[in-house]
Homo-oligomer: A and B are copies of this chain.
Amino acid sequence: MVDTAARPDTASAPTPAARPAISHVNHPRASGPRVDTASLGRQLLGTWADLRLEARARAARPDLQRIEGQSMAEHRERVLGQLKILVDEGAVQRAFPVALGGKDDHGGNIASFEELVVADPSLQIKSGVQWGLFGAAVLHLGTEKHHEQFLPSIMTLETPGAFAMTETGHGSDVAAIGTTATYDPATDEFVIDTPFRGAWKDYLGNAALHGKDATVFAQLITKGVNHGVHCFYVPLRDEHGDFLPGVGGEDDGLKGGLNGIDNGRLHFSGVRIPRDNLLNRYGDVDANGDYTSPIASPGRRFFTMLGTLVQGRVSLDGASTMASAMALAIAVTYGNQRRQFNAASETDEEVLLDYGRHQRRLIPRIATTYAQIFAHDEFLVKFDGVFSGKTDTEADREHLETIAAALKPLSTWFALDTLQEAREALGGSGFLAENRLVGLRQDLDVYVTFEGDNNVLLQLVGKRLLTDYAKRFKSEGPAKIIAGQIGSNLVNGSGLKRLGQNAADLGSSTRAASSFDAAAIRSLLADRVDTMVEGIAGRLNKVRRESKAVQSAEFSRNQNELIAAGRAYAELLQFDAFTRGLANVTDAGTKQIVGRLHRLFGLGLIESHLAWYAVNGRLSTRRGRAVTAEVDRLIAGLRPHAQDLVDAFGYGPEHLRAANASGNEAARQDEARAYYAALRSSGDAPLDEKVLVKQRKAAERAAAKAAGK
């Protein structure tokens, strides 16, 4: 997935400082291999480790962090002020041109930017709006004149701006937005209009309050022809913060989270801007109104323009993965300290993480987080290769977009799932803001629908898979595709492959399980992707000569599975990245433990799709049952290392900022246990009525016996 030539040299980077240890009441370890948290932690920081450490140190500063309970108005002003701090400290210029004071460092910029989520997701996203969307649109869609004219004041935040793409009526289908930019040769201007309510720009950060200007996406119309969506630089407000003539808007108001950002709506009525304000890298209009573009195909031109904005998806994948890591660090730390019920002992209660159910809730999610961390670093390296120009072919760009569409949905959904599970694993205390999880979840909620709705993105992946499939079989013609598909179904569905497997599985479940090595897991994951795509392609192919309506209906019937296929492909990407990450682990003990985690991730995927493997004849009943047994065995083997594995994420109390992951719970448990121990040894402990009842019953039985019964 990654061209290693594009990796910056990190060999000289120092190892991160050892984290201050948090006391754990109970942290059992097997006598076998141990995790070397320092070296593993360094590896998890990835290609831009030093930039991450620097950014993470910044995110630990209270002046850049969220204050829980602030009103929306206070929070918005605080975050705006924090953006100014970032400017003053030169923390946000890396992606911009060297000529303008930047570093032309795209990968490093994103690595650094993602870490802001640790301080406050509102700070991350408002920075993303200003420099990753508004500024990036000028950078990537504009040309040198725009860079010189607009970027300096964007970089310094002198000009806060909105990225006005989404409309109330069109989010996923950007090509169909209603806003128009019509060229008027009489004045050499574009006229921007939102012709109906659904064409209002909506959900835009910086639009409600702070935005002075905006990059506005609109249908470019000149000489009676609509050349499709282009981006225009449009002033919004005057020096007093009032809307300029023709511009209007409203506040989106309170949101489910991210209330440090002033999202709002904008509309335009005959707003005139100079022709030069067309960001003209991929399409230009001359004074006569004649349109030219370096990309002849309107469709390819549109996707090229959108493709330059992929960094949003990159950074959400990274930030979501960090949020999951923090959630697990909090929940595992608490689960290793918190005690409840005393099933195994008369006096000591068990720590939560010694319960099988609690292990099942947290440990597989650690495995997924590792997979995501490795996959994200490769993704970021790929992104850097494309945006630095080092590895920037059309195939690279297409591959980057597919990776983005695949990974972002999985990691953003996973963050919500993991933050919720962690919050529940803290019981009632997880609901308190002081334990951080609810706030993070509220903020990250929107990550699953912005920068591409997750379902729509996975559908895009599914469609790419179909296209690839069609290309592969192009020379053989549709008849052979169908034959191939049916043949495969015959082999797998009717039991032939399955029967073969049953024959090989005559031994015990345990022996069958041992064959689930990484290669077998990969083969199962890949086979599922191929088979699903093949099946969908075959069904769609059957109606390829029918009307558009019939084809659309058949597509709709297959849409759920197509999205599942997209997800299956994304899971395979993650698994492969984890495989490569594991290969790079050097410490032998660490490698053994991370190897278990790797298999747990892969087998966990198989388990989550076990129904598919079973009903499609890929796993016999015996091997199917062995999957769960092996997952259980791996979890049990990883349990003693759970704390090390989350400690390796590298977050200290200054990042987690969760009361119950600070050692508070351990202190409370110690105090309570010391109290009861002292009470027992004092001889003043009250007797338990239950014990008295038992003694009385025993005495009664003895008396009855003595009475000669």
Which B residues are CB-close (under 8 A) to A257? 431, 438
A:170-205 near B, CB below 8 Å: 170-173, 176, 178, 195-199, 202-203
A493, B195: Cα distance in complex, Å: 65
Given A197-B668, A298-B689, A686-B226, answer yes or no on A449-B420 (Cβ-Cβ < 8 Å).
Answer: no
* A448 within 8 Å of B (CB atoms): yes
B-chain residues with CB within 8 Å of residue A625 when the two chains form the complex: 493, 615-616
- Partner-contacting stretch, out of A79-87, A114-122, A355-363, A378-386: A355-363
Q: A255-B433, A430-B449, A614-B615 are in contact. Are A225 and B686 (CB under 8 A)?
A: yes
Closest B residue to A68 by beta carbon equals: B254
User: Which residues from 471 to 502 on chain A have a C-beta closer than 8 Å to any C-beta of chain B?
Assistant: 493-495, 498, 502
State which of B342, B428, B610, B615 has its C-beta within 8 Å of the C-beta of A449.
Answer: B428
How many copies the complex holds: the figure is: 2
Interface residues of A in 295-347 (CB under 8 A from B): 296-299, 340-345
Is A11 part of the binding interface, using a Cβ–Cβ cutoff of 8 Å? no
Do B445 and A423 touch (CB < 8 A)? Answer: yes
**Pairwise interchain contact B617-A614, C-beta atoms closer than 8 A:** no
Q: Contact at B428–A450, with CB atoms within 8 Å?
A: yes
Bound state CA distance, A297 and B299, in angstroms? Answer: 78
Q: Establish whether residues B356 and A559, one from each chain, have CB atoms under 8 Å apart when the complex forms.
A: yes
| A253 adjacent to B434 (CB under 8 Å) | yes
CB pair A428–B446 under 8 Å, yes or no, is yes
Which of the candidate stretches A99-107, A156-164, A545-553, A570-578 sits at the interface with the other chain? A545-553
Q: Does A27 count as interface, using CB distance less than 8 angstroms?
A: no
- A291's closest neighbor in chain B, by CB? B689
Q: Which residue on B lies nearest to A413, using beta carbons? A: B424
**Known: A169-B668, A611-B610, A614-B610. Contact between A498 and B428, CB under 8 A?**
no
Pairwise interchain contact B431-A449, C-beta atoms closer than 8 A: yes
User: With a CB–CB cut-off of 8 A, which chain B residues contact A202?
Assistant: 428-429
Query: A427-B453, A672-B169 are contacts. A438–B559 as well, Cβ < 8 Å?
Result: no
Q: Are A428 and B203 in contact (CB under 8 A)?
A: yes
Listed residue (A256, A459, A636, A675) with the most chain B CB atoms within 10 angstroms of its CB: A256
Q: Inside 8 A of A672's CB, which chain B residues have their CB? A: 169, 178, 196-199
**A437 and B617 alpha carbons, distance in the complex (Å):** 41
Q: Is the CB of B686 within 8 A of A172?
A: no
For the complex formed, measure the closest distance between the CB of A258 and the CB atoms of chain B, giving whole angstroms. 8
Q: Is A394 interfacial (CB 8 A cutoff)?
A: no
B169, B416, B427, B617: which contacts A171 (Cβ < 8 A)? B427
A616 closest partner in B (C-beta):
B621
> What per-residue 1/0 map shows which CB atoms of A361-389 lie under 8 Å from chain B?
00000000000000000000000000000
Contacts of A622 in B (CB 8 A): 493
Q: Which residue of B lies closest to A172 (CB)?
A: B340
A495 with B621, Cβ < 8 A, contacts A343-B552, A356-B557 known: yes
Contact B343–A555 (Cβ < 8 Å): yes
Q: In this complex, what residue of B is CB-closest to A200?
A: B668
Q: Are B69 and A69 in contact (CB under 8 A)?
A: no
Interface: A504 (CB within 8 A): no
Give how many A residues have a beta carbon under 8 Å from the other chain's beta carbons. 121
Query: A168–B692 Cα gap in the complex (Å)?
Result: 29
**Contact A357 B455, beta carbon cutoff 8 Å:** yes
CA of A197 to CA of B689 in the docked complex: distance in angstroms? Answer: 25
Interface residues of A in 433-476 (CB under 8 A from B): 433-434, 437-439, 441-442, 445-446, 448-450, 453-455, 459
For the complex, is A141 an interface residue (Cβ under 8 Å from B)?
A: no
CA distance A223 to B255 in the complex (A): 58
Q: Give residues 253-301 of A contacting B (CB, 8 Å).
A: 253-257, 291, 296-299
Query: Known contacts being A168-B668, A428-B166, is A345 close to B548, with CB within 8 Å?
Result: yes
Q: Tell me whether A256 and B668 are in contact in the complex, defined as CB-CB below 8 angstroms, given that A225-B692, A548-B344 are known contacts.
A: no
With beta carbons under 8 angstroms apart, the residue of B298, B453, B686 that contacts A224 is B686
Contact of A226 among B221, B556, B689 (CB under 8 A): B689
Residues from chain B with a CB closer than 8 A to the CB of A51 are none
User: Once the chains bind, are B560 and A498 in contact (CB under 8 Å)?
Assistant: no
Q: How far is the CA of A312 from the CA of B689 in the complex (A)?
A: 29
CB-based contact A356/B556 at 8 Å: yes
Judge whether A349 is part of the interface by a CB distance below 8 angstroms. Answer: yes
Given contacts A298-B690, A449-B424, contact A560 B255 (CB under 8 A): no
Let me know if A671 and B196 touch, CB within 8 A.
Answer: yes
Tell me, rounded to whole Å, the shortest Cβ–Cβ distance linking A284 to chain B.
14
Residue of B nearest to A296 (CB): B693
Cβ of A432 within 8 Å of any chain B Cβ, yes or no, is yes
Within 8 A of B (CB), among A134-173: 166, 168-173
Q: Is A2 at the interface (CB under 8 A from chain B)?
A: no
Closest Cβ of chain B to A355, distance in Å, is 6
Contacts of A71 in B (CB 8 A): 69, 71
- Does A252 lie at the interface of the complex (its beta carbon under 8 Å from any beta carbon of B)? yes
CA A172 to CA B176, docked complex, whole Å: 53
Contacts of A530 in B (CB 8 A): none
Q: Are A693 and B298 in contact (CB under 8 A)?
A: yes
Distance between A169 CB and nearest chain B CB, rounded to angstroms: 6
Cβ contact within 8 Å between A354 and B556: yes
Given A173-B340, A445-B423, A672-B198, the answer on whether A632 and B428 have CB atoms closer than 8 Å is: no
Select from chain B the residue with minimum beta-carbon distance to A202: B428
By a CB distance below 8 angstroms, the chain B residues around A254 are 68-69, 432-434
Q: Across the interface, which residues of B come within 8 angstroms of A291, CB to CB?
A: 689
Q: Does A400 contact B (CB under 8 A)?
A: no
For this complex, 9 residue pairs linking A to B, each with C-beta atoms less than 8 Å apart, are A68-B253, A169-B669, A171-B428, A173-B340, A178-B675, A225-B687, A356-B558, A357-B459, A614-B624
Contacts from A to B (Cβ < 8 Å): 68-69, 71-72, 166, 168-173, 176, 178, 195-199, 202-203, 219, 221, 224-228, 252-257, 291, 296-299, 340-345, 349-350, 354-357, 360, 416, 420, 423-424, 427-434, 437-439, 441-442, 445-446, 448-450, 453-455, 459, 493-495, 498, 502, 548-549, 551-553, 555-560, 563, 607, 610-611, 614-617, 619, 621-622, 624-625, 632, 636, 667-669, 671-672, 675, 686-690, 692-693
Q: A224-B686, A355-B559 are in contact. List 8 more A-B contacts (CB 8 A).
A: A172-B341, A196-B668, A197-B672, A198-B668, A198-B669, A343-B555, A438-B442, A498-B621
